[in-house]
Amino acid sequence: MADNSTPTNRPHAMENRHSLGTLAVSPLALGGNVFGWTADEPASFAVLDAYLAAGGNFIDTADVYSAWADGNSGGESEAVIGNWLAGRGSSVREQVVVATKVGAHPEHRGLAAETIKAGAEDSLRRLRTDRIDLYYTHFDDESVEVSEIITALDDLVREGKVREIAASNITPSRLQASLDFSSREGLARYTALQPHYNLMSRDTYEGDLERLAAREGLGVMPYFALASGFLTGKYQPGRQPEGERASRVAGYLASERGRRVLHALDEVARAHDASPATIALAWLAAQPTVTAPIASARKVDQLPALLAVGDTVLKEGELAKLTEASA
C-alpha cells in the first residue's frame, strides 16, 4: 500500500470544499478516464493515493470507460477505482466522493428506467461500494421522457444506492424540463452539470446552458478541461502531436485561435511561475458557475500542475487576456 502521509508541499487550498447538494467536494475533480486504459492498475493506484494525500476527494469516472480501447469492454476504470477503494479501507471510502455515469456502456445504452437501474447495479459491483455519491446521465436520451429518467433516478436515491444525481451532455430545454419535473413531483433533483468546456471549447457551455446553471444553482464540473492535453503546453506549433489524442490536438494547433491561446497561456504562466495547465484550469475555476474542473493524470508527476489550481488566483487582466485570446 502506498504511503498516504501528508506531503510537505501539500496544496492547502485543495482542502477547500464546495457543496453539491449533500456532498462537499474539492476544487479539482480527478478524472478516471485514463484508469485501465493509458494507466494500468499500479499507476492508477499511485495517482489516486497522491491525489488523496494532497487533499483531493472528488473522483470522476463512467461505466463506459474505457470500452473504446482494444481488449476492453467498459467498466475498467470503475473496477480500478473499486479495487483501490477496497484496498484502502472504509475510512478512505468515507473521505472520497465518487461520481460515475450511465447511458453509454455497450450493455446499457440509453436512459430507459430499466437501463439506468441495471447500469447502477453494475457500477456498484465494479466500484465495490454500497452507494454512488454522484450519478450522472452521461448523454441525454431524448427518446425517453424526462419523467421516466427522473423517476428511475429518484428510485435509486430512495433506495440509498445514489446520493445525488446530475446530468451531462444535455440541452438547456431538456435540463430545464427535468428540473421542473423534479420540483413539481417532489423527486430527486439534478444538483450538478458536466459540460464540455475549456478555453478551446466555450460555445459548448457559455450562453443558455450557463445561464440555466446559474439560475438553478447547479454545480458545474467541466470535462475536457485541458482540451485533450492541448492546454498543458506540451504541444507546440511545428511539432507533430503524438499519442491517443493526437488528431484532436492537431486541429487546435492548426488554428490561429489555438496559437493565440497557447501564447496567452505562456505569458500568464510565466507571471505565476506556473504551468500552462494550471493556468488553463485556473481560468475555468474563475468562471462564476464552475465548481470544479475535471482533469486526469496518468502518472503522479502530472498531478502537481493540476492540484495547483486550488492555490492559483488570476488577476482580472490575466482573465481578460485569456478570454480574449480564446474568443
Residue 202 burial (10 A CB sphere; 0-12, 13-18, 19+): middle
Neighbours of 316 (CB within 10 A): 8
Element (H, E) at 259: helix 256-272
235 carries an active-site annotation: no
78 Cβ partners below 8 Å, 6+ apart? 32, 61, 62, 63, 65, 100, 123, 126, 127
Residue written as cell 427535468? 178
In sequence order, what DSSP letters do the residues of 85-127 get, joined into one string?
HHHH-HHHHHH-EEEEEEBEETTEES--HHHHHHHHHHHHHHH
18 Cβ partners below 8 Å, 6+ apart? 24, 25, 26, 27, 219, 291, 292
CA–CA separation, 306 and 277 (whole Å):
7
- Considering 65, 136, 190, 235, which one is annotated as catalytic? 65
Taking CA atoms, 104 is separated from 18, 109, 137, 299, in Å, by 28, 5, 9, 27
For residues 54 and 10, the answer to whether their CB atoms sit within 8 Å is yes
Residues assigned a catalytic role? 65
